[in-house]
Structure 1
Amino acid sequence: MLLWINGPFGGGKTQTAYELRRRLPGSVVCDPEHAGFGLRRMLPPELRGDFQDLASWRQGVVEVLDLALTGQDGVVIVPMTVTDPDCFAQTVGRLRELGHDVRHFTLLAQRETVLRRLRERGLGFLVPRPLRRTSVPRRDSWAVERLDHCLERLREPEFAEHLWTDGSTVPKTADRIAVLAGLTLRPNREGAPRTRLRQIRVALRHIRFD
């Protein structure tokens, strides 16, 4: 089974993916962004755009995920924003055509909730709380520019199943996905401080600078 976790940039996809991996024995996280940023780095700066527009990225994602699904027994978890219907068909749709059990979930939240998460992710938790209300890291400016488009497009029925996360924690969101996918997670016995520290480590490992 493949769990594709969609949602706007800063919507909690990566944190949810690693929470699922932590509590789902044998599962792995396969992040298509690694391939995308690698392709971008191959291009001169003036030619770098959205790597999802590259046919090589779409085809490569399908090839690698097909290999992961056929080569190991555990659940494959994919945190990746996809809002373009053609890209969705050529990745999620293509994997289904190949016979894989792909469960797609879109994490949604109100605009202000996503902006707050963008302010706090990475090292943002070190910024004094009053400044977080207006300050978004420069590296996330592209995510902010795309936010309204993402929220509008991802509400469409083709991107269901929709999960609203404004009032939910990451562990609770993972629980909901597991129930909908028919999976059993290990009980979450972490306290809030330990959960926060672990989520900070996940965020720091996934800071993008290019």
Structure 2
Amino acid sequence: MLVWINGPFGGGKTQTAYEIQRRLPGSVVCDPEHVGFGIHRMTPPSLRGDFQDLPAWRQAVYEVLDLVLSRHDGTVIAPMTVVEPAYFRQIVGGLRERGHDVRHFALLAERETVLRRLRERNFGHVLRFVVGKDAPLRRESFAVRKLDLCLERLRGEEFGEQVWTDHLTVAQVADHVAASAGLTLSPATDGPLRGRLRRTWTGIRHIRFD
């Protein structure tokens, strides 16, 4: 089974994916964004745009996920924002046509909630302490530019099932996604401090420096 976790940038996809992976033995996270990072590293900055617009990215993601789903026995989790219907049909629809069981979830939240999460992720807590809670989201400019489009598109029927996360913890979102997909997670045993430390470490591991 493939669990595709969609949502706006900063919507909690990666945190949810790794929470499920941690509590679901045999599962793996296959992040399609890494394919895009590789494409960017192969091209000069002047040629870098949205890698999702490249047919090579979409085909590569489809082929890699098809390979993993065909040969790995456990659940595969893909955290990735995709809001262009044609791109979604090419990848997710293509995998379903291949006979794979694909469960799709769009993590949604109110605009202000997502903006707050963007400010707080990675080293955001440190930045807010140094320059104030209303510090501009310079490193997240792409995410902010895409936010309204993401929230609008992901409300569409094609991108169901939607999960509103404003008042849910990461563990609760993971529980909801797993239950809807028919998966059984081990209990969430983290206390508030351990949970925050775990989320911070997950965020640090996925910081981009290029």
Report if the CA contact (8 A) 1:2-1:102 is conserved: yes
Q: Which runs of 5+ in 2 are unaligned?
A: none
CA distance in 2, matches of 1:89, 1:151: 18
Q: Which runs of 5+ in 1 are unaligned?
A: none
- For 2:28, the aligned partner's letter is V
Confirm whether residue 127 of structure 1 aligns to residue 127 of structure 2: yes
Counterpart of 2:73? 73
Deviations 1:2-46 (A, max 9, x none): 000000000000000000000000000000110101111211211
Confirm whether residue 25 of structure 1 aligns to residue 25 of structure 2: yes
Q: Report the alpha carbon displacement of residue 113 of structure 1 after superposing the two structures with TM.
A: 0.2
Deviations 1:32-73 (A, max 9, x none): 110101111211211110000111111100110011111111
Report if the CA contact (8 A) 2:128-2:135 is conserved: no
**TM-score in terms of structure 2 length:** 0.97
- For 2:77, the aligned partner's letter is I
Q: Report the alpha carbon displacement of residue 187 of structure 1 after superposing the two structures with TM.
A: 0.5
Report if the CA contact (8 A) 2:128-2:134 is conserved: no
CA distance in 2, matches of 1:170, 1:158: 24
Q: Does 6-15 or 151-160 show the bigger shift?
A: 151-160
Deviations 1:155-185 (A, max 9, x none): 1111010000000000000000011001100
**TM-score in terms of structure 1 length:** 0.97
Q: Report the alpha carbon displacement of residue 98 of structure 1 after superposing the two structures with TM.
A: 0.5
Q: Report the alpha carbon displacement of residue 121 of structure 1 after superposing the two structures with TM.
A: 0.2
SS in 2 for 1:155: coil
Q: Does 137-146 or 19-28 show the bigger shift?
A: 137-146
Q: Does 52-61 or 119-128 show the bigger shift?
A: 119-128
CA distance in 2, matches of 1:160, 1:60: 24
**C-alpha RMSD of matched pairs (Å):** 1.2
- For 2:101, the aligned partner's letter is D
Deviations 1:95-147 (A, max 9, x none): 00110000000000000000000000000122345955422442211100111
Is the alpha carbon distance of 1:118 and 1:132 closer, same or farther for their aligned partners in structure 2, counting shifts above 3 Å? farther
The share of aligned pairs that are identical, in percent, is: 64
Report if the CA contact (8 A) 1:116-1:132 is conserved: no
SS in 2 for 1:163: strand
Counterpart of 1:166? 166
SS in 2 for 1:135: coil
Say how many residue pairs are matched: 210
SS in 2 for 1:105: strand
Counterpart of 1:39? 39
